[in-house]
Structure 1
Amino acid sequence: MEEKRIVLTKPYFSLDGDSCGDHQKPPNLIQLILSLFKNVRPGADLTKLQLPPHFNSTKSFLQYLGESIYCVNSDMLGKCNSGKTPLERFIAVVAWCISTMRPLIYGSAPYNAILGETHHVTRGTLNVLLEQVSHHPPVTALHATDEKENLEVLCCTYPNPKFYGTSVEVLMHGKRQLKLLNHGETYILSSPNISVKFIPPRIEWTGSCTIRCLETGLEAELSYGKKSFLGFRGNPRSIKGKIFDSSSSKPLFEIGGQWDRTITLKDLDRGEVRVIYNAKEVLSGLKTPIVNDPKGVWPSESAVVWGEVNEGILTGDWEKATEAKRAVEENQRELLKERKSKGETWIPKHFVVSYNKEDGWDCSPTEKIISPAPIVVPFNC
């Protein structure tokens, strides 16, 4: 039996312009981008477009999504649970939500996860499991549990990238839930979208995000800043928003700042202002997860599926990376043909998946508790 190649890399994003990843950028990036899209019609759905490895960041989308939950320097989720009042807990949830919007690096995208791919990681008492439950359209499910804190995170995410001539807009469909079981509170969170501009080259979070607690009636609206062609109308990394009571629509707090720097909260009754999120404290110095039990790593793990591709990118061997990526994609096509010939329907292992036109995709975990993983994030990460 061929030995599994488990290739894990550092969290990949840019804070204050510094790359935190292992990816090596190829030359003439703009030329590569323009050549890639020259035969794509404006408005086209890009979910089936296969990018060459030059554009990849040695991460699967599963890892990218998982890192937003488990790669932090401070226990943002624990703070959500430790608030003494519903309002304190809600403010902590807002800060946690902002922390999951990681800075992005232009010209670098995660791999499109293959059907059945998984990512299973532990950080402290938090256990996180992701599975690619659909390939066309791409749907990713996430379930995280922390028995010590008695909390649970559920996500069902299905991005929809579209090409518009001078930009790619990625609509981040789906919803996230955070359950604080000790307090009987469920928080529903949406996500802003991603905008990739070619001229001038930049990538940013755009649009709005909502957070609401079903039991307390507290809600928040966050607007992610955006600038024009000449760079006016504010900073693209800015956030403005408010927290209010949905029963009266009365604003309680104003939110402002930059999601890659600091976010402040202003009490509208008292006029007091305080910092609720500091990106440098939360995201700086993150380290690579480690494998505690190689034999316990599933063949479907992202670090195994894309291990050989990662090796090619990290060493700058683009021919090896291209061949390895093509092999992964060809294998998926062969498996699909085989299932069709047998009349079989693929069924996820860790989630029950449903879809309807009104609510979209929904992913329910088959297990109440996620078990500890063979891949572990160090505490000093």
Structure 2
Amino acid sequence: MAEEEQMRRHLVLVKPISLEDEKESEYTTSNVIRRILSLFKNIRPGSDLTNFQLPTQLNLPRSQLQCYGEMVYGFSGQDLLGECNRRDLPIERLKSVVAWNISTLRPVVFGMSPYNPVLGETHHVSNGHINVLIEQVSHHPPVSAVHATHEKENVDVTWCQYFTPKFRGGYVDVDVKGKRTLKLMNRKETYEMDQPRLIMRFLPAPVAHWAGKVKIKCLETGLEAELHLLSDSFFQKFKGNNSRSIKGKISETSSKDHLYDIFGHWDRTIMAKNLKTGEIEVIYNAMENISGLKPPIVKNLQEVMETESAMVWSEVSEGILKKDWESAGEAKKVVEDKQRDSLKQREASGESWVPRHFSVVKDGKEWDCSPRQPTVPPAPLVIAEAQGEIINRFQETNTPC
């Protein structure tokens, strides 16, 4: 019992990022900017910032791995991932894959960042029939590997994700590298998809948003979708356009026959127009799927891995949630120092890091990650309705943002 209490104190879970989080005063642009400016009061001109670390005041109380997990399992409405397999017609399955892909887009808080995962860190969580396992397979550069499987519908999702940020003067352009693959095992169909860029713009007003082109292609059916996430330019602001708008199309790859127009806003609704019949249907509703999201709960304490994100960063998250910046900073330093010590020990012994759950191949600047196991087992952390004895038992474990 004492061991259980110790683990409970060192496991902090927060609810997934959802649409309503943007309205919280703590994360409004003006408040974040004030927080950023306050951090520079004690920095003198000419100070060496070579080893400058992001202060905990600018950290969200979650690891980047938790954010990736939320993108896969975090929806409150219909089972979008399972729906990809339930549709009978290939064109309907592609539309469902498009809807699931769009559901992975979440609001980005300008100036705030999740923790940079340490090497070997993991996040293992389940939502219904969906089991997700993520591992940090490289620290420099930071590379994360994701594997998710849907037990009931036999759907498999893998992706290897890493970033290439470039300063463009008035904004930072973050190129999100890595290929996403979604397999419908029962249908013998594989969907490959790109990832959008992240734009952090300073003028005319600080804002962070998703932009760029995303292509979703199925070789077996010969169908593909192309989505354009529109950038939020200075002139668009005055035209009243929303940076979260999406325009695209669904076509046959070989004939280039244009079948559907895709349009809408990823934080509201996305529609598909059948160009032959003129019929318009809603294929995705953000309010029904990425709002009112609930945090995971602990189903089995004994199965929680020591590398679990919620455990690795627990004391840092506790400090942030309490706004105890000193204790949060000290706890963050402990985590980072431990990683540096582990690196020194490996270098001294000539050992190289081998990921536990993924095989990793690096070709130049490109990374490819494949899971070692064909399916992801049910996780000790689960998404459940906010009722019942299991919630009451572990309610102190779940502290929402």
The TM-score normalised by the length of structure 2 is: 0.87
What letter corresponds to residue 365 of structure 1 in structure 2? P
- Give the aligned partner of residue 37 of structure 2: 31
- Give the aligned partner of residue 136 of structure 2: 132
SS in 2 for 1:324: helix
Query: Aligned-pair distance for 1:107?
Result: 2.0
- Give the aligned partner of residue 316 of structure 2: 309
Query: Aligned-pair distance for 1:187?
Result: 0.4
What letter corresponds to residue 176 of structure 2 in structure 1? M
Instruction: Determine the C-alpha separation between the residues in 2 that align with 1:70 and 1:39.
Output: 46
Instruction: Determine the C-alpha separation between the residues in 2 that align with 1:238 and 1:220.
Output: 16
User: Mapping of 1:64-103 within 5 angstroms?
Assistant: 64-73=67-76, 74-103=78-107
Change over 3 Å in CA distance of 1:27–1:246 after alignment to 2? closer
Which of 359, 373, 377 lines up with 2:383 in the alignment? 377
1:146 counterpart = 2:142: no
Kept in 2, the 8 Å contact 1:10–1:21? The answer is no
Instruction: Determine the C-alpha separation between the residues in 1 that align with 2:270 and 2:94.
Output: 15
Which of 76, 93, 117 lines up with 2:121 in the alignment? 117
SS in 2 for 1:153: strand
Give unmatched runs, 5+ long, in structure 2.
388-401
Instruction: Determine the C-alpha separation between the residues in 2 that align with 1:296 and 1:364.
Output: 23
SS in 1 for 2:166: strand
Query: Aligned-pair distance for 1:327?
Result: 1.0
Change over 3 Å in CA distance of 1:152–1:21 after alignment to 2? farther
- Give the aligned partner of residue 399 of structure 2: none
Instruction: Determine the C-alpha separation between the residues in 1 that align with 2:364 and 2:187.
Output: 32
1:344 counterpart = 2:351: yes
Instruction: Determine the C-alpha separation between the residues in 1 that align with 2:35 and 2:130.
Output: 38
User: Mapping of 1:52-67 within 5 angstroms?
Assistant: 52-67=55-70
Query: Aligned-pair distance for 1:357?
Result: 3.4
Which of 290, 296, 302 lines up with 1:295 in the alignment? 302
1:214 counterpart = 2:219: yes
Kept in 2, the 8 Å contact 1:179–1:185? The answer is yes
Instruction: Determine the C-alpha separation between the residues in 1 that align with 2:65 and 2:364.
Output: 25
SS in 1 for 2:178: strand
What letter corresponds to residue 243 of structure 1 in structure 2? I
Instruction: Determine the C-alpha separation between the residues in 1 that align with 2:46 and 2:228.
Output: 34
Instruction: Determine the C-alpha separation between the residues in 1 that align with 2:332 and 2:68.
Output: 20
Instruction: Determine the C-alpha separation between the residues in 2 that align with 1:27 and 1:313.
Output: 17
Change over 3 Å in CA distance of 1:82–1:33 after alignment to 2? farther
Instruction: Determine the C-alpha separation between the residues in 2 that align with 1:237 and 1:259.
Output: 6
Kept in 1, the 8 Å contact 2:26–2:32? The answer is no
What letter corresponds to residue 368 of structure 1 in structure 2? P
Instruction: Determine the C-alpha separation between the residues in 1 that align with 2:12 and 2:276.
Output: 52
1:181 counterpart = 2:203: no
Count of matched residue pairs: 373
Query: Residue deviations 1:97-150, cap 9 Å, x none?
Result: 000111222221111010000000011121110000001111100111122111
Kept in 2, the 8 Å contact 1:12–1:20? The answer is no
What letter corresponds to residue 147 of structure 1 in structure 2? E
SS in 2 for 1:28: helix
Instruction: Determine the C-alpha separation between the residues in 1 that align with 2:35 and 2:169.
Output: 17
Query: Aligned-pair distance for 1:157?
Result: 0.5
- Give the aligned partner of residue 43 of structure 1: none
Instruction: Determine the C-alpha separation between the residues in 1 that align with 2:362 and 2:278.
Output: 45
Instruction: Determine the C-alpha separation between the residues in 1 that align with 2:221 and 2:59.
Output: 42
- Give the aligned partner of residue 398 of structure 2: none
- Give the aligned partner of residue 372 of structure 2: 366
- Tell me the C-alpha RMSD between the 2 structures: 2.6
Kept in 1, the 8 Å contact 2:33–2:111? The answer is no
Instruction: Determine the C-alpha separation between the residues in 2 that align with 1:21 and 1:152.
Output: 37
- Give the aligned partner of residue 203 of structure 1: 208
Give unmatched runs, 5+ long, in structure 1.
41-45
Moved more, 160-169 or 14-23: 14-23
What letter corresponds to residue 73 of structure 2 in structure 1? Y
Change over 3 Å in CA distance of 1:70–1:16 after alignment to 2? closer
Query: Aligned-pair distance for 1:169?
Result: 2.0
Instruction: Determine the C-alpha separation between the residues in 1 that align with 2:337 and 2:372.
Output: 30
1:172 counterpart = 2:176: yes
User: Mapping of 1:237-256 within 5 angstroms?
Assistant: 237-256=244-263
- Give the aligned partner of residue 396 of structure 2: none
Query: Aligned-pair distance for 1:151?
Result: 1.0
- Give the aligned partner of residue 319 of structure 1: 326
Instruction: Determine the C-alpha separation between the residues in 1 that align with 2:72 and 2:345.
Output: 36
Structure with the bigger percentage of helix: 2
Query: Aligned-pair distance for 1:168?
Result: 2.4
The TM-score normalised by the length of structure 1 is: 0.91
SS in 2 for 1:54: helix
SS in 2 for 1:3: helix
- Give the aligned partner of residue 8 of structure 1: 13
What letter corresponds to residue 171 of structure 1 in structure 2? D
What letter corresponds to residue 14 of structure 2 in structure 1? T
Kept in 1, the 8 Å contact 2:145–2:369? The answer is yes
Instruction: Determine the C-alpha separation between the residues in 1 that align with 2:116 and 2:90.
Output: 38
Change over 3 Å in CA distance of 1:165–1:227 after alignment to 2? same
SS in 2 for 1:353: strand
Kept in 1, the 8 Å contact 2:73–2:127? The answer is yes
